Structure 1
Amino acid sequence: MPNKFYITTAIDYVNSKPHIGHALEKLQADVLARYHRLIGDEVFFLTGTDEHGAKIVKAADKAGKTPREFTDEISASFVELTKKLNISNDDFIRTTDQEKHWPGVYKIWNAIKENEDLYKDTYEGLYCVGHEAFMKKSDLKDGECPDHKTKPEKIKEENYFFKLSKYKKDLEKAYRDGVVKIFPETRKNEVLSMLKDSEDISFSRPSKDLKWGIPVPNDKDHTIYVWSDALTNYLSAIGYGRNDDWLKWWPANTHVIGKDILRFHAIIWPAMLMSAGIDLPKSIAVHGFITVEGEKMSKTIGNVISPIDLIGKHGVDPIRYFLLREIPSTQDGDFSQSKLEERYNGDLANNLGNLVSRTAKLIETRLSGELDFKDHFVDIDAHKKVQETSQKYAVALNDFRLHDALSAVWELLSYANSYIDTRKPWDKDADAQNIMTTLTTVLGIILNSAWFLKPFIPDTADKIFKMFGTTEDHTKWVGNKFEINKLEPLFPRIKS
């Protein structure tokens, strides 16, 4: 019976259209989903959109649309992004979906309430409109929200509160005991520090101030706040509140999120689950931000990069490769057109593309277009190099270091290029043994590299397999007769 693997991205807030930061998170989760399918696991991969809140109403008003019209339009742009990026998600959840999402929200709210972890109180606090969240003084920098560079408003109102403080010790133990893993490890220390000043949190807003949302059960004067609405998508999408299908997939193996929502996912969400008597997710993978030529993306500066525009210009796999290789998986990284072109020409066109095309050409000219793959022709040192790469690759993926997994593959490709250059099978004096050993060895490296690259640049991997007349099923490579199929170059060079 195959292992189960359930992975999610954060659901994107639909106050504006997607940028490359949204693309990065989806790609990271997509790599892990595709990898687990490749090794035979049964996978469910979820993404979606977060569509309630006062900020949505303001954005819709500004656009001259109703909240429903506005959210339909922006959510559709995120669906388009998943398709353009070749994301392999199994479902796309929308928090405005009253049939699929709302029953799960009601169920977890009632479960928390039945556990006597909800109470009404008057709250006076600092409210950040950008986050649509109350903030602690310790979250501010020079009195401002560090993300939105604005001073939060002082608000006093009656809300439902969740007894988060009740679960602080249990949460600390879960992280110290490794029940929930956080990648990178440094983020775990951050969470343990955040736990120290965590206190009960507002779980609703007055409906007079927040009409665009899910009503509190049996209380028309209050609207459910973001925590038990948006976060519950990870359960509602797989059936929680509607049927028992969710039990097959839960707990989630990995939540892939940005560093700005770590508190929500590592403290509030697991505390909610504890209260409702539901198992905790197994891991949280935290990525950083993308800057553009050293600057934070900003509409004011005008440097917000559309991933869909980039794909239209360069194709999907070059963009997938660049974001996954250039941006360290758990750190901040930078985008520039010059870096993209450098990666494209150096890594994709020269290293990978050139190796594949010249190997195919040599099989055509030196072996009449056909290579009978016998394992005794495979160089022993090269075989060891492939095995070492396989180990590095698997460890890197399991540790959420996707860029390191790609780095290991490119080391292998560089080895193959050096190997073929040293042995010169094109030389008129090369003997049959040299030709067969060299081309069999290099073809083996190419096929293994294509298998490693299948989760990262799937279209390119498929083109490589097609060029050599085979598939990703590595059990059928040895003993196979490979015939060359002529295809266009994988990556024509970009001229600056």
Structure 2
Amino acid sequence: MPDPFYITTAISYPNGRPHIGHAYEAIAADVIARFQRMEGREVRLQTGTDEHGLKMARKAQETGQTTRELADEMSGYFKAMCDGLDVSYDRFIRTVDADHHRASQALWTSMAANGDLYLDRYEGWYSVRDEAYYGESELVDAEDGGRLSPNHTPVEWTVEESWFFRLSKYQDRLLELFRKNPQFLQPESRRNEMIAFVSGGLRDLSISRTSFDWGVPVPGSDGHVMYVWVDALTNYLTGVGYPDGGEQWKKFWPASLHLIGKDIVRFHAVYWPAFLMSAGLELPKTIFGHGFLLNRGQKESKSLGNVTDPLMLAERFGVDNLRYYLLRDVAFGQDGSYSAEAIVLRTNAELANSFGNLAQRTLSMIYKNCEGRLVPDAVTSAEDADLERKVLEQIGNLRASFHDLAFSDGLTSWMKAVFACNQFVDDMAPWALKKTDPERMTAVLMVLFRCVRHLALAVRPVVPGSADRLLEQMGIAPGERNFAALDDPHWFAELARDFVLSQPEGVFPRLDLPEGEEG
């Protein structure tokens, strides 16, 4: 039995509505979760919202709401996004949840018991937008002569009493972790960045605030709330039962994969493992920092007016089409760009014209020419066996690529199999064989049916709704829609005993982009 698999997204900061970057990460995490389920693993997928911190308190003041009212409203938009994009999460966690407050305080207490917390005075630069502290050497010059964070966000000089975490104590252990366990932080470019950052020296980290009260109270220290990142990172523990232990904790911790954006790698790959080391907890197995998704080459921002509502994109182009495009077109780990035209072109070329047309032609010919019945004892040729072998080989390549989070490569392999099937249809011309050699036509259609089933199973983690609608038409039971089913030599004969194909319906319609429409 394969090991359980626990995957998390970064929890989203809900001081504004979701944008396409939030959707990209949620979709990628869902594809990984669905893929691992199809590999036979028990999977837990967690996502949610990070609702504490000064940024939320100030946003609530701007909108005339209480901070909790703002948090409730905005968190609802993020949950609706996940539901609308078919993200199969097991828990949507909120940092206002009572069990999360308890977990955060338990982690704090464990770090304190290890002697890693002390009370002092913080004076330095703080970015409210990043919820991050920066040293003078990290700041960049603004056009107006002021100072900005490395992310070009405003910084404020902050002075207040604060609890500090002895981050400097963990410098050597972190460097050893990066160098001896390259699997821990991926891709390699992110690991190299963190090695350089930690090698430059670590300062102890301010981890409490007294200038506002919207956060998790520090145990035994009135007036202090936890630095939002201590609280936010702890969500990964909360979701599997920390600090109570229990079945989920034993089964799923340490996490298999934290999936995050490249802009928050420092918090996850430096602060988080140091907190866990201090608390005596196991580290996650892998942290993967993916790239940004750009809107026509530009990062989305409210000031540029180019923020895209992902649910509007999904409504316009279809959920599965959007999911497929994002994983097919962008090399995971690198920055990528999208546009309405690109979504339409990719969807039409590959899902509609190639795979959708293959499935529809195959099923329609079986329905019309074989009375919808499957013929397991049709006499097959070496060409038939060669096609099925090629398809299964490319699906094996897809599985290997998906294990490495190389989704674009995996879908390239899948498309090679689709192209091979379409070439086979053109070469065999079953519509002509109907007149000249009906037995051969039947054999050709049967091998195509098997290959369409294999291909639908393989792409199911990416386009789950569409793949399931196709597999339903083909009589493939829900319990047989996994990779183990590919190794079952008896499935086709067993299906043929009782199954009769009804009039097939296409599941990948072509998209139209009206002339002059902007992405």
Question: TM-score when scaled to structure 1?
Answer: 0.95
Instruction: Out of 314-323 and 450-459, give the one that drifted further.
Output: 314-323
- Counterpart of 1:478 in 2: which secondary structure? helix
Instruction: Out of 212-221 and 257-266, give the one that drifted further.
Output: 212-221
> Which residue of the partner structure matches residue 318 of structure 1?
321
Residues 439/183 of structure 1: CA separation in 2 closer, same or farther (3 Å cut) = farther
Residues 469/129 of structure 1: CA separation in 2 closer, same or farther (3 Å cut) = same
> Which residue of the partner structure matches residue 235 of structure 1?
237
Residues 355/131 of structure 1: CA separation in 2 closer, same or farther (3 Å cut) = same
Q: CA deviation at 1:391?
A: 2.4
Which digits, 9 at most, give the CA deviation of each residue in 1:66-93, with x for residues without a partner?
A: 0000000000111111110111110011
Residues 349/459 of structure 1: CA separation in 2 closer, same or farther (3 Å cut) = same
Report the aligned-residue RMSD: 1.8
> Which residue of the partner structure matches residue 61 of structure 1?
61
Aligned-partner Cα distance in 2 for 1:252–1:292: 32
> Which residue of the partner structure matches residue 124 of structure 2?
125
2:103, 2:234 within 8 Å by CA — same for their partners in 1? yes
Q: CA deviation at 1:170?
A: 1.4
Aligned-partner Cα distance in 2 for 1:477–1:350: 28
- Counterpart of 1:371 in 2: which secondary structure? coil
> Which residue of the partner structure matches residue 388 of structure 1?
393
Q: How many residues align?
A: 493
Q: CA deviation at 1:285?
A: 1.7
Q: CA deviation at 1:370?
A: 1.3
Selected match of 1:434 from 437, 440, 444: 440
Aligned-partner Cα distance in 1 for 2:49–2:34: 21
> Which residue of the partner structure matches residue 44 of structure 2?
44
Aligned-partner Cα distance in 2 for 1:15–1:323: 25
Q: CA deviation at 1:375?
A: 8.7
2:373, 2:501 within 8 Å by CA — same for their partners in 1? yes
Aligned-partner Cα distance in 2 for 1:256–1:236: 17
The residue type equivalent to 1:59 in the other structure is K
Q: CA deviation at 1:179?
A: 6.8
Aligned-partner Cα distance in 1 for 2:406–2:215: 37
Selected match of 1:462 from 468, 475, 490: 468
Q: CA deviation at 1:257?
A: 0.3
Which digits, 9 at most, give the CA deviation of each residue in 1:331-369, with x for residues without a partner?
A: 111111110111121111101111111101111222222
Aligned-partner Cα distance in 2 for 1:168–1:455: 39
Instruction: Out of 369-378 and 228-237, give the one that drifted further.
Output: 369-378
Selected match of 1:144 from 115, 132, 148: 148
Residues 275/363 of structure 1: CA separation in 2 closer, same or farther (3 Å cut) = same
- Counterpart of 1:285 in 2: which secondary structure? strand
Q: CA deviation at 1:2?
A: 4.6
2:376, 2:446 within 8 Å by CA — same for their partners in 1? yes
> Which residue of the partner structure matches residue 297 of structure 1?
300
Selected match of 1:406 from 381, 391, 411: 411
The residue type equivalent to 1:102 in the other structure is H
State whether structure 2 residue 435 is matched by structure 1 residue 421.
no
Aligned-partner Cα distance in 1 for 2:333–2:112: 36
Query: Pairwise mapping of residues 343-382 of structure 1 onto structure 2 (< 5 A)?
Result: 343-374=346-377, 377=380, 379-382=384-387
Aligned-partner Cα distance in 2 for 1:154–1:173: 34
Which digits, 9 at most, give the CA deviation of each residue in 1:208-259, with x for residues without a partner?
A: x121011111111311102320000000111102443423210000000000
> Which residue of the partner structure matches residue 517 of structure 2?
none
State whether structure 2 residue 198 is matched by structure 1 residue 181.
no
- Counterpart of 2:431 in 1: which secondary structure? coil
Q: CA deviation at 1:26?
A: 0.7
Query: Pairwise mapping of residues 263-282 of structure 1 onto structure 2 (< 5 A)?
Result: 263-282=266-285
Which digits, 9 at most, give the CA deviation of each residue in 1:273-330, with x for residues without a partner?
A: 1111111111112211111112221212211111111122222111111112122211
The residue type equivalent to 2:469 in the other structure is K
The residue type equivalent to 2:442 in the other structure is M
1:290, 1:333 within 8 Å by CA — same for their partners in 2? yes
> Which residue of the partner structure matches residue 81 of structure 1?
81
> Which residue of the partner structure matches residue 6 of structure 2?
6
> Which residue of the partner structure matches residue 485 of structure 1?
502
Identity %: 40
- Counterpart of 1:104 in 2: which secondary structure? helix
Aligned-partner Cα distance in 2 for 1:108–1:284: 20
Q: CA deviation at 1:459?
A: 0.8
Residues 354/138 of structure 1: CA separation in 2 closer, same or farther (3 Å cut) = farther
Aligned-partner Cα distance in 2 for 1:375–1:87: 41
The residue type equivalent to 1:491 in the other structure is F
- Counterpart of 1:299 in 2: which secondary structure? coil
> Which residue of the partner structure matches residue 144 of structure 2?
none
Instruction: Out of 429-438 and 262-271, give the one that drifted further.
Output: 429-438
Aligned-partner Cα distance in 2 for 1:17–1:152: 23
Query: Pairwise mapping of residues 70-109 of structure 1 onto structure 2 (< 5 A)?
Result: 70-98=70-98, 100-109=99-108
Instruction: Out of 370-379 and 477-486, give the one that drifted further.
Output: 370-379
Aligned-partner Cα distance in 1 for 2:221–2:261: 33
Aligned-partner Cα distance in 1 for 2:451–2:188: 33
Aligned-partner Cα distance in 2 for 1:328–1:298: 22
> Which residue of the partner structure matches residue 194 of structure 1?
197
- Counterpart of 1:127 in 2: which secondary structure? strand
Residues 433/203 of structure 1: CA separation in 2 closer, same or farther (3 Å cut) = farther
Which digits, 9 at most, give the CA deviation of each residue in 1:409-457, with x for residues without a partner?
A: 1111111111111110111444234313322222222111111111111
1:204, 1:222 within 8 Å by CA — same for their partners in 2? no
Residues 200/111 of structure 1: CA separation in 2 closer, same or farther (3 Å cut) = farther
Residues 468/195 of structure 1: CA separation in 2 closer, same or farther (3 Å cut) = same
2:392, 2:454 within 8 Å by CA — same for their partners in 1? no
Q: Which stretches in structure 2 are left out of the alignment for 5+ residues?
A: 142-146, 514-519
Aligned-partner Cα distance in 2 for 1:319–1:201: 43
1:203, 1:224 within 8 Å by CA — same for their partners in 2? no
Aligned-partner Cα distance in 2 for 1:478–1:183: 41
Aligned-partner Cα distance in 1 for 2:436–2:305: 58
